[in-house]
A and B are shown apart, each in its own frame.
Chain A
Amino acid sequence: MALIETKDLWKKYQMGAETVNALRGVTIAIERGEYVAIMGPSGSGKSTLMNLIGCLDTPSSGEYFLNGKAVAGMNDDELANIRNREIGFVFQTFNLLPRATALHNVELPLIYNGSSATERRAMAEDALGRVELTDRMHHKPNELSGGQRQRVAIARALVNKPSLILADEPTGNLDSKTSIDIMRLFDQLHRLGNTIILVTHEPDIAKHARRVLSIFDGQIASDEVVPEHTRMTYQS
């Protein structure tokens, strides 16, 4: 079974008297170890799809299996549990706790699965090591550069060894040089066997993925493998 399998996902929103169909029957399958970009202009439904895949929301209809578990009918707390164990989020705006150190930010997911303080610290230090921020772990977000903040966020996404890393416009708030660093990090994580889903509207960023899903008007418009010669991969 694929890591992610959706069947005919619909998401409807009530906007006043009008019903808006943000997703109109999305059926996709993503295997373990894939590196997939989801592309689409704003309003296409890609954020909605990301929220559903990330278990932040439930579909109006349709089915979603994540790692074999039927997620569509889960309640808030069950979804929280899935997010905690299966998904690592990387956001455009980093979403770090401003008053907490890098280390504490990375420990965050571990608080909610009941790890002990010593376990948490060891795992968080390890994750920060993987994004090469060991020397910055006692800094607060406002003492770090944008790229460093995003690396803290990536460490937080990795710390629980999730099945899936879900990155929403991870370079949207970064300059081009820093963006290259971050994308290099994702390439590296992919080579180490992580499953990565990248949500972006930038074709250059999407080219890092092995496969691009284009979404338009709430439906999958295309599902293509990125040809080897156009693929952008940073070796390091």
Chain B
Amino acid sequence: MITGSILRLSFAALWANKLRSGLTLLGIIIGVTSVITIISALEGMQDSIEAEFDKMGPATFFVQRIAMAMSEKEWLEKIKRKPLREEYTAMIEEGCDLCEKVSPGTWGQSDVKYGDRSLRDVPVVGVTSNRIEIVDLEVAEGRFHSAEDDLHKRRVAFIGHKVYEELFNGLDPIGKDIRVAGRKYTVIGLGKEVGGLFGAEQDERIYIPFSTHRRDFGSFDRGIHIVVKALSVAQLPEAMDQVRMVLRSARHVSFDKPDDFDVLTADTILEVLNNATRLFRFGLFGISMISIVVGGIVVMNIMMVAVTERTREIGIRKAVGAKQNHILMQFLFEALITTLLGGVIGIVLGFFIAKAVIAMININISPSGLAIAMGLTISTSVGLVFGIFPAMKAARMDPIKALSYE
């Protein structure tokens, strides 16, 4: 009952000083907005990356000559590795009974033409027809190539959305012939637009049958990569071990040497990526926190002024029976109302700014619980931390001195 009445007093005091309250609010809004913008943007990018890797499915892993190198030394070591050979696919199918699907792939870059339109250095990826059953490649129109196409080394192409947009300008691409590195390929399918940070990659690609790629783009030095789907998520680690054993023996790796190839799950890649960007993310977050602290100092400063200005009011309230806690609450509530209101506005503003910024790299974000919780926690703590000192100063005033304050 008393708390409710005091809360109303706090609102009234803020309302009575609209300009001052507004300026204080602005400080908090700027601070929270910057934090929320950063959090939402980072989270949006993270979600987009994760969604991309999720397409691989949880039971899927990759085998590559070099998947990633975290240092120059590692890179120089890995660069000496021999490429993965085409035959490994059959060996894995033979030697790994926990592998459900094995899909080799290879890639290169070529110029692509349709009519008088052309694109330079388009990634052309050759994969077996079962790739679409492992990796989530969504078909917008037409179809992906079949085992039949692969077997007969047909020149058929499944084009990414961006390739389609730039070459076809809205025309129906199915059945049209394009030229890839001078050779005529028939478009049989169009991928759905993926968007996002890594999705762009898929949108810009052309997929052709694996064997066609090997014939048209050479197969001597060019290594392959292999995507494997285990029977189940639970059997994933064991399946990975089986694949490693097959490859070690095929590549004659002696028992005391490490693998001369990389076997990775989407999760591992994600983890490495996260580790690599952690410092960057914390840095951004830290910088945005500075503005929150500045906002907090503004709140404290204004509250100190308010307490001094209202010394006499405090004296009157104490004389008629306000306890220390009552006065403390009144001023603390003023700080908290300001920071919470600023927090809510900051959350909304921050979200929309992040949305606008992130939209530039084709990522769409939705309001996140984390950002809202962070925004509210931060603004409440700022109110408490920077409001408590002025409020305590008010609460501890001597009523006699406060009443005679001029």
Decide yes or no whether B1 CB sits under 8 A from chain A: yes
Given A109-B321, A113-B321: A95 in contact with B5 (beta carbons within 8 A)? no
- In the bound complex, residues from chain A placing their C-beta under 8 Å from that of B319 are 54, 56, 83, 89, 95
Tell me, rounded to whole Å, the shortest Cβ–Cβ distance linking A55 to chain B.
9
What secondary structure prevails in chain B residues at the interface with A?
A: helix
Tell me, rounded to whole Å, the shortest Cβ–Cβ distance linking A147 to chain B.
20
Decide yes or no whether B214 CB sits under 8 A from chain A: no
Residue with the greatest number of chain A CB neighbours at <10 A, chosen from B6, B324, B403: B403
Given A95-B316, A108-B317: A80 in contact with B1 (beta carbons within 8 A)? no
Residue with the greatest number of chain A CB neighbours at <10 A, chosen from B6, B315, B400: B400
Name the residue of chain B whose CB is nearest to the CB of A108: B320
Decide yes or no whether A64 CB sits under 8 A from chain B: no
Decide yes or no whether B312 CB sits under 8 A from chain A: yes
Beta-carbon contact of B321 and A95 below 8 Å: no
Interface residues of A in 79-112 (CB under 8 A from B): 80-81, 83-85, 89, 91, 95-97, 99, 108-109, 111-112
Decide yes or no whether A228 CB sits under 8 A from chain B: no
Decide yes or no whether A19 CB sits under 8 A from chain B: no
Decide yes or no whether A227 CB sits under 8 A from chain B: no
- In the bound complex, residues from chain B placing their C-beta under 8 Å from that of A116 are 1
Given A111-B6, A112-B326: A97 in contact with B316 (beta carbons within 8 A)? yes
Given A51-B400, A95-B315, A99-B16: A117 in contact with B5 (beta carbons within 8 A)? yes
Decide yes or no whether B69 CB sits under 8 A from chain A: no
- In the bound complex, residues from chain A placing their C-beta under 8 Å from that of B9 are 111
Beta-carbon contact of B1 and A85 below 8 Å: no
Q: How far, in angstroms, from A168 to B154 measured CA to CA in the complex?
A: 106
- In the bound complex, residues from chain B placing their C-beta under 8 Å from that of A77 are 323-325
Name the interface size band of chain A: 20 to 34
Beta-carbon contact of B2 and A114 below 8 Å: yes
Name the residue of chain B whose CB is nearest to the CB of A77: B323
Beta-carbon contact of A112 and B312 below 8 Å: no
Contact flags A165-206 to B (C-beta < 8 A → 1, else 0):
000000000000000000000000000000000000000000
- Residue of B2, B16, B318 touching A80 (CB-CB under 8 A): B318
Q: How far, in angstroms, from A229 to B313 measured CA to CA in the complex?
A: 42
Q: How far, in angstroms, from A89 to B403 measured CA to CA in the complex?
A: 12
- Residue of A89, A114, A115 touching B320 (CB-CB under 8 A): A89
Q: How far, in angstroms, from A56 to B315 measured CA to CA in the complex?
A: 10
Tell me, rounded to whole Å, the shortest Cβ–Cβ distance linking B123 to chain A.
70
Tell me, rounded to whole Å, the shortest Cβ–Cβ distance linking A64 to chain B.
16
Beta-carbon contact of B324 and A76 below 8 Å: yes
Beta-carbon contact of B324 and A108 below 8 Å: no
Decide yes or no whether A57 CB sits under 8 A from chain B: yes
- In the bound complex, residues from chain B placing their C-beta under 8 Å from that of A57 are 400
- In the bound complex, residues from chain A placing their C-beta under 8 Å from that of B323 are 76-77, 80-81, 112
Given A99-B16, A114-B1: A83 in contact with B403 (beta carbons within 8 A)? no
Beta-carbon contact of A156 and B324 below 8 Å: no
- Residue of A99, A108, A117 touching B316 (CB-CB under 8 A): A108
Contact flags B1-27 to A (C-beta < 8 A → 1, else 0):
110011001000000100000000000
Given A51-B400, A56-B400, A99-B16: A80 in contact with B316 (beta carbons within 8 A)? no
Number of interface residues of B (CB under 8 A): 23
Contact flags A4-21 to B (C-beta < 8 A → 1, else 0):
000000000000000000
Tell me, rounded to whole Å, the shortest Cβ–Cβ distance linking A114 to chain B.
5
Decide yes or no whether B399 CB sits under 8 A from chain A: yes
Contact flags A55-79 to B (C-beta < 8 A → 1, else 0):
0110000000000000000001100
Decide yes or no whether B322 CB sits under 8 A from chain A: yes
Tell me, rounded to whole Å, the shortest Cβ–Cβ distance linking A86 to chain B.
10
Q: How far, in angstroms, from A57 to B402 measured CA to CA in the complex?
A: 13
Q: How far, in angstroms, from A76 to B9 measured CA to CA in the complex?
A: 22
Q: How far, in angstroms, from A88 to B324 measured CA to CA in the complex?
A: 19
Given A83-B319, A84-B320, A112-B322: A91 in contact with B313 (beta carbons within 8 A)? no
Name the residue of chain B whose CB is nearest to the CB of A47: B400
Q: How far, in angstroms, from A108 to B313 measured CA to CA in the complex?
A: 11
Residue with the greatest number of chain A CB neighbours at <10 A, chosen from B2, B315, B316, B403: B316
Q: How far, in angstroms, from A48 to B109 measured CA to CA in the complex?
A: 94
Beta-carbon contact of A111 and B2 below 8 Å: yes
- In the bound complex, residues from chain A placing their C-beta under 8 Å from that of B320 are 83-84, 89, 108-109, 112, 156
Name the residue of chain B whose CB is nearest to the CB of A84: B321
Residue with the greatest number of chain B CB neighbours at <10 A, chosen from A108, A115, A116: A108
Q: How far, in angstroms, from A61 to B325 measured CA to CA in the complex?
A: 27
Beta-carbon contact of B2 and A56 below 8 Å: no
Given A80-B318, A83-B319, A111-B5: A95 in contact with B324 (beta carbons within 8 A)? no
Interface residues of B in 363-389 (CB under 8 A from A): none
- In the bound complex, residues from chain A placing their C-beta under 8 Å from that of B312 are 95
Contact flags B325-352 to A (C-beta < 8 A → 1, else 0):
1100000000000000000000000000
Beta-carbon contact of B403 and A80 below 8 Å: no
Q: How far, in angstroms, from A215 to B226 measured CA to CA in the complex?
A: 103
Q: How far, in angstroms, from A111 to B399 measured CA to CA in the complex?
A: 18
Q: How far, in angstroms, from A232 to B316 measured CA to CA in the complex?
A: 31
- In the bound complex, residues from chain A placing their C-beta under 8 Å from that of B399 are 56
Contact flags B45-83 to A (C-beta < 8 A → 1, else 0):
000000000000000000000000000000000000000
Q: How far, in angstroms, from A99 to B316 measured CA to CA in the complex?
A: 13
Q: A80-B323, A83-B318, A85-B321 are known contacts; what are 7 more A-B pairs with Cβ within 8 Å?
A: A77-B324, A95-B312, A95-B316, A97-B316, A111-B322, A115-B1, A160-B321
A-B contact pairs, 9 of them (CB 8 A): A80-B321, A80-B322, A96-B316, A108-B316, A109-B321, A111-B6, A112-B317, A112-B321, A113-B321
Closest CB pairs A-B (n = 3): A84-B321, A109-B320, A112-B321
